[in-house]
Amino acid sequence: MVSTPVTSITFEEYLTYDDGSDFHYELVDGKLELMNPPTIEHFLIVDFLDTALKAEIKRCNSTWLCFRESGVRTGRNKSRLTDLCVVTLEQARELLNTSAVFESPPLLIVEVVSPESVKRDYRHKRSEYAALEVPEYWIVDSLKAKISVLLLEDGFYEETVFTANQQILSRTFRELAIAVDQVFTAGNLS
């Protein structure tokens, strides 16, 4: 039996919250926000980028790690679930036997836009990740066939938009060789 989510919850309570379902929630100002299940296109894009980033981490012999659906605390009673985040080995060690919600800024966060997440990904997460000082944030938008790479400069994100066959330029992964078309083609089953 699935219980109704609580109406108000602290960050500490969120870390151990379990309503008996397999639903995923973000914590926004002390309230649980249900995340809709992703589409197959979303899963395929995340899988492609996860594989590409992990391959680049391995190629560079880096001690970084790439995780799917990990949490990032963005405020007192606020925590977001990322599609992908890249963190240092030290950050991962701090959470080895606890809930995977990072309280220090990941090196890179990637969010794949869904119809219901447009405002959340472009507006809310953008400002929260900037306030947390996440150095690089990608917004992968298959709805508009573009990838926005946001780089933190003096507390604000400077945005560069990539489309079509343009190579994604990353400050975190300087030698990464992925074109926008490759990302969106990965989201198709044809």
Q: In this predicted model, what pLDDT tens digit does every residue of 97-117 receive, in sequence order?
A: 999 999 999 999 999 999 999
pLDDT for the residue numbered 6: 65
Alpha-carbon distance of 86 to 111, in angstroms, equals 12
In a domain, 7, yes or no: no
| Number of domains the chain contains | 1
Does residue 17 belong to any structural domain of this protein?
no
pLDDT tens-place string over residues 88-97: 999 999 999 9
Residue 7, pLDDT > 90, answer no
- Burial of 102 per CB tally in 10 Å (0-12, 13-18, 19+): buried
- Does some domain include residue 26? no
Residue 124: domain span = 38-186
Q: What is the CATH number of the domain that holds 109?
A: 3.90.1570.10
pTM metric for this prediction: 0.93
Q: Do the domain assignments include residue 105?
A: yes
For the stretch 11-40, pLDDT in tens is 999 998 988 888 899 999 999 999 988 999
24 in any annotated domain: no
Mean of pLDDT values over 45-71: 97
CA 90 to chain centre: 19
Minimum mean pLDDT among 4-8, 48-52, 169-173: which range? Answer: 4-8
For residue 5, name the pLDDT band (cuts at 50, 70, 90).
Answer: low
User: 142 in a domain, yes or no?
Assistant: yes
Q: Is 176 domain-assigned? A: yes
For 138-184, how does the pLDDT look when each residue is reduced to its tens digit (9 = 90+)?
Answer: 999 999 999 999 999 999 999 999 999 999 999 999 999 999 999 99
Predicted pLDDT of residue 1: 35
> Does residue 118 fall inside a structural domain?
yes
Q: Is the pLDDT of residue 2 over 70?
A: no
